[in-house]
Structure 1
Amino acid sequence: MILGIGVDIVHLPRITSLVTRRGRLPLAKRILSLKELDEFNQRFPIEHLAIDQQVKYLGSRWCIKEAVYKALYPIHKLEWKQVTVGKDQGKPILHVHNGKAYGIKRSHVSLSHDGEYAISQVVLEG
């Protein structure tokens, strides 16, 4: 049974603007789970290097988490850090903290980038 479907699109220059105004770490700490924040800090130990890759990482996580939120809303209202995005052979995978309590048995996520945009779709099964 499908619990919900969510889709989101992010204009990456918007994420660049947030990083420029507030810094990368405040944004990262706000939206990333502890596991993701660890990975982010390992991949990007120096703030001013690989800015485009940092924005792509943060924008992708933002996009996927918004899609998860939309898939469960209005029954459940998740917070950013309740969703962890990982990879399995390059494909994004989801872990929703306490997901069984929300009825989630399986999740499917697709992410795509094109120029200044990232788009994701999430299907949650119960």
Structure 2
Amino acid sequence: MAILGIGVDLVNIPRITALLSRRDSQRFASRILSPDELALWQSIPLNRRVQFLAVRWGVKEAAYKAMFPVVRPTWKDLTYHGAKVADDGQWLKPSLTYRPPASSIPVIGRIHVSVSHDADYVYASVLVDGYS
């Protein structure tokens, strides 16, 4: 399958901290997180919430860049799942789920995502396979 697109994004975590200090953090989170992500965000400790938002912001920006102009996802159409250990003990890679609200949107191929964070920065890259 051909590549639909590649997107990258770099997020400055202090910028997200500043955004949250000027706005209601719950309202901000509810604007950019999918329902599943918002439920998870509400369950994590306060000191981890900024990085949580920064990672999702970067991943979703990178995904938009990879899908545009064929698909124009909204913040809530995308859900990021971090790396985790499966029931069988094997590590699962991070993943990104795209759930468009309407069936008339083109069906895209597999989404590949990679995230790295260090100190004040989060780097996200997304590669999207072709579409039909």
Q: TM-score, structure 1 length as denominator?
A: 0.87
Matches within 5 A, 1:86-101: 86-89=81-84, 91-98=93-100, 101=105
Equivalent in the alignment of 2:19: 18
Q: What are structure 2's unaligned runs of at least 5 residues?
A: 85-91
Q: 8 Å contact 2:6–2:127 — kept in the other structure?
A: yes
CA shift, 1:98, in A, is 3.2
Greater Rg over alpha carbons, structure: 2
Residues in 2 aligned to 1:95 and 1:102: alpha-carbon distance in whole angstroms: 15
User: What is the DSSP-based 3-state SS (H/G/I as helix, E as strand, rest coil) of the residue aligned with 2:42?
Assistant: helix
Moved more, 89-98 or 5-14: 89-98
RMSD value, Cα: 1.8
Q: Which aligned runs of 4 or more in structure 1 are off by greater than 6 angstroms?
A: none
Q: TM-score, structure 2 length as denominator?
A: 0.83
Residues in 1 aligned to 2:26 and 2:114: alpha-carbon distance in whole angstroms: 26
Return the match for 1:124 from 111, 123, 128.
128
Q: What are structure 1's unaligned runs of at least 5 residues?
A: none
CA shift, 1:103, in A, is 2.9
Between the aligned residues of both structures, percent identity stands at 43
